[in-house]
Structure 1
Amino acid sequence: MKLLRYGPIGSERPACLDAEGQMRDLSGVVADINGESLSPESLARLAALDLTGLPVVEGAPRLGSAIARPGKFLCVGLNYADHAKETGKEPPTEPILFAKASNAICGPNDDVEIPRASEKTDWEVELGIVIGSRAKYVSEAEALDYVAGYTLVNDVSERAFQSERGGQWVKGKSHDTFGPVGPWMVTKDEFDDIQNIDLWLDVDGERRQTGNTKTMIFGVAHLVHYISQFMTLEPGDIIATGTPPGVGLGMKPPTFLRAGQVVTLGADGLGEQRQRMVQA
């Protein structure tokens, strides 16, 4: 099942895709695609719906973030060994955790702002985990039971803000629009093996990133288990799981985004995003 949100910024409505890929409005069924509607019980009710009886969404409306107002937007750094190598870092022995501020979240095809004084705005295609049940001290063997589904994330980053301005990574990760999420959240039952998902990203039509989740250092189940030892994960929380190689920082010479460029990205089963870079 693919769940999504559509409409103007701040007025998005819940929807799903039917078997033909047609968008169906869910406003009469759930208030939004959020923590409450992502519980196992709610997802079971949605899966049992006769989608042909739901209103068709006409045209091609703007898509919002696939998840409304996540309580936490967590990220995992350097989770692909080849990406760690291209940045000059040793692969971590434990997951590196950081957060993006909630204001970074935007729709999958919204414009992305290059911050004022930015020198090194970069791209990162990532698999996003969406939590469906409250997870605290969960075992790795049970961790996937707490997952509602998966989504596509572009972990946009300003490398100078992140690494050269002191403090923690969060200020290089949290500018407005630095977290496109979607186009939809896909429930976990649609994936036979989440650790074998191809990801890609292009800048102006040129391939920059190609990877597969099988090369993650720490897999999805381990990440949910690990993070739940430090904080309680709540329904609707998003975990961006790290990026494969090919970021601008790792190019020779390093290459970063400019206003007017277009970034497109995608992953198996998770759809595609498209963002135009604009100056803040």
Structure 2
Amino acid sequence: MVVNMNKIFFNSKKLLNSSAAIKQLLLNTRDQKRNFSVSSCLSMRFVQYTVNGGPQRLGAQICTGGDIFDISAVDSTIPNSLPKFLAADKSVHERAKRIVAAASSLVYYKDVKLLSPVTHPDKVVCVGLNYSGHCEEQNKPFPKEPTVFSKFSSTICGPTDDIVLPSVSTRVDYEVELAVIIGKQGKNIPKAKAYDHVFGYTIAQDITARDWQKRNGGQWLLGKAMDTFCPLGPAVVTKEVIDDPHNLDIKCTVNGQERQCANTNELIFKVDFIISYLSELFTLYPGDVILTGTPAGVGVFRNPPLYLQKGDVIESEIEGIGKMINKVV
């Protein structure tokens, strides 16, 4: 039996407010059917976090804001990093499944600091000009093939971390995006098999220094790769939880004012095509992050342009995944 965690959550919202209730709920489910499947236990939200300033831990949640199954702290052989966990063999995943099913180690959500759910991936790949509205606001035709660039993994920060304005730029902009997290290594992946290589999805902000994006011979890298320019979070939601990644509301506000509001159905190149296309060029590894593009409403194309200022608060939200809140400093 595969348990629908979303159904459990929405039918038992009050119960899920306490660790004891979560444990009892899972134990009752296990009693009803002993062969609680791997996909059931891993169809949830994976987070990286610290407690009281301690070392990084890997855990899982049933719902947004729910208490956390402390996976890596229970078994020291389980990596405390999601990319390393994804790259591990099936026996590690089985042990994690048993920890979650037993509800043997729960940490109160209020006691943790969430980190980026993915740290030190092999690569962060980005697709530009991939929303119809974003092309239209620039009066540009839809691209015939993906516009691909990258960000350094050192740009990654967490869902509540500060975004630091660099002293060398006066035109820093926001771009909320759906990010795909690769779960299985692959090269030359057929489009029909692309989702076999997806572990899940998270929210990204592709923070961009527009003045530097147009410098350096027109190459985008320097404008995209400054420190703290890639907040991720708050969790990686596994693909089993998201029915359709191409039908999710996506929104960005700055200081409470709506700047971007769209749906991922505007994506020009869909997730399966992007994965297949990229894998023809290079190998995708577990933990790799793929930013799929941003919708209309970015600051640079407003009249007048609206760039980020110190003290601004950016809220980035995607349906079914959650929300990030980052302050600009």
- Could you state the TM-score of these two structures normalised by the residue count of structure 2? 0.80
Partner Cα distance (2:135, 2:295) in 1: 9
Aligned to 1:111: 162
SS at match of 1:126: strand
Query: What are the Cα deviations for residues 157-210 of structure 1, in whole angstroms up to 9, with x where unaligned?
Result: 111101244341110011110000111001100111111011000000000001
Partner Cα distance (1:47, 1:210) in 2: 36
Alignment partner for residue 17 of structure 1, among 55, 58, 61? 61
Partner Cα distance (1:160, 1:89) in 2: 20
SS at match of 1:249: helix
Partner Cα distance (1:157, 1:135) in 2: 29
Structure 1 unaligned spans of 5+:
none
> Which amino acid letter does the alignment assign opposite residue 101 of structure 1?
F
Contact 1:24 1:57 in 2 (8 A): no
Contact 2:211 2:223 in 1 (8 A): yes
SS at match of 2:304: coil
Contact 1:87 1:249 in 2 (8 A): no
Structure 1 residues 1-280: aligned runs within 5 Å: 1-7=44-50, 11-18=55-62, 21-27=66-72, 28-29=74-75, 30-38=78-86, 41=90, 42-43=92-93, 46-48=96-98, 49-50=100-101, 52-57=103-108, 59-278=110-329
- Could you state the TM-score of these two structures normalised by the residue count of structure 1? 0.93
> Which amino acid letter does the alignment assign opposite residue 46 of structure 1?
A
Query: Which of the pair has the greater relative contact order for Cα pairs under 8 Å at 6+ separation?
Result: 1
Which is further off, 163-172 or 73-82? 163-172
Query: What are the Cα deviations for residues 140-170 of structure 1, in whole angstroms up to 9, with x where unaligned?
Result: 1110000111111011111110124434111
Structure 2 unaligned spans of 5+:
1-43
> Which amino acid letter does the alignment assign opposite residue 83 of structure 2?
G
Contact 2:156 2:231 in 1 (8 A): yes
SS at match of 1:141: helix
Structure with more helix by fraction = 2
Partner Cα distance (2:195, 2:213) in 1: 31
SS at match of 1:150: strand
Query: What are the Cα deviations for residues 218-266 of structure 1, in whole angstroms up to 9, with x where unaligned?
Result: 0011100110010000001000000011100121111100001110011
Partner Cα distance (2:220, 2:177) in 1: 17
> Which amino acid letter does the alignment assign opposite residue 177 of structure 1?
T
| Structure 1 residue 68: Cα displacement | 2.3
- Change in 2 beyond 3 A, CA 1:264/1:9: farther
Contact 2:248 2:318 in 1 (8 A): yes
